Chain A
């Protein structure tokens, strides 16, 4: 097994470049330029200042995954490139590995970060904001970005250090299970948030908080409508028109 040739400074350079992963996102190849942009400092270290056309071409192919998980893939791909150059026999080459894992990594990243962590951070911050806590946005950023940056930077470094073994490490993290638990917590906090708003509305009208229970079916009807394909915009229009109409009549 070859020893790593990429220095920490070049890895940090690649890590910094990962923030532009989606800088030229396009419909045809999606994140392809962002992917090679992150790899280039490492490829230049391996192949010299002008990497061969074949290497550049195989990394400008179609690429699409979750932007944070792209770092895991890029790190592993760089290690595989290094091993290929050293003449090691590999079970899978860099380009095939990239094509194989981008979809499952995307599914994990989308479910965890977009589907679970982002709503959780937003709902926690909203709960603080409705209490009048002005630093609530900072809480959102903190909750979200600790795992985000760990994944983006840690994934890149681990991907490179561990090569193909990073796939097993990622499996052991059981990210889909974590995502489900976070979603459950988010739903509970959403219930608390809606109840607090309902109670506040009741207090404003000088009626008992128990009247707020009347809002539960309203929220559930909206949920049902959303699942039927009614957009948030349509729901805003319907609600606003109804409330303004009521205000004008009474």
Chain B
């Protein structure tokens, strides 16, 4: 398990940096981050399932200006790591266990917004120090300060992922055996509800005239085609 947690931590940092600080090539999206985590932890299907459930949920929350969206990257990585923990500690696996991990990771992941806010406040100090460096004509110092900002983002990613995995394990260890049967009873409904909610929220945020018509027409036409086959 130590190797698995070290891998999780490394992924939390690498993929977490992609969210804001470095490149932003979308390896931080849940549909990429969770399958990658699952693959490296030896539970690829759990990773794919986590990614599918979380991908659309906060996609409509745009990181524009000072807006800080929920940290769906750490939720995805943390939920996948929790799925492995549940399998190893309690012998729980399969879709119901994965759903429980996601359900626990989502509220715990709210800490990510807090951590992101603290990082940006800490970086305010760097901007102040950069003023002094610029006035002194010290461009090397400006570069160092910039890299220190990256370090703050690394700490925030590790903190958020740790809270999700540690807090989630503490919550799920006693609760998961009690709830897993009930979750199993919901069938596919609970699993698909995450994607449906995400789709609905995204539809609400994509400001397109005729949006409802396009969505409804595509929905009905697809069901008709499936029904006629």
Please give the residue numbers on chain A whose beta carbons come within 8 Å of chain B beta carbons, in ascending order.
19-20, 22-30, 32-34, 36-37, 40, 43-44, 50-53, 56-57, 60, 64, 67-68, 106, 110, 114-115, 118-119, 121-123, 125-126, 129-130, 134, 136-137, 140-141, 144-145, 148-149, 180, 183-184, 186-201, 204-205, 208-210, 212-213, 215-216, 218-227, 232-233, 235-236, 239-240, 243-244, 246-248
Contacts and interface: CB of A to CB of B under 8 A. Distances in A.
19 contacts: A22-B24, A23-B147, A24-B126, A25-B123, A26-B124, A26-B126, A33-B146, A125-B55, A144-B25, A149-B25, A187-B218, A219-B219, A222-B197, A223-B212, A232-B61, A232-B201, A239-B193, A244-B182, A244-B183
Given A119-B59, A212-B223, 18 more contacts: A27-B124, A28-B124, A37-B142, A53-B134, A56-B139, A122-B59, A188-B215, A188-B217, A191-B221, A195-B222, A198-B219, A198-B223, A201-B187, A208-B227, A219-B203, A222-B201, A224-B204, A233-B110
Contacts of B130: 32-33, 36, 60
B89 interface: no
Given A184-B208, A226-B205, A218 B196 contact: yes
B206 A209 contact: no
Interface stretch (B6-14, B31-39, B157-165, B169-177): B31-39
Contacts of B214: 184, 187-188, 191
A125 B107 CA distance: 25
Given A53-B134, A110-B62, A197-B196, A216 B142 contact: no
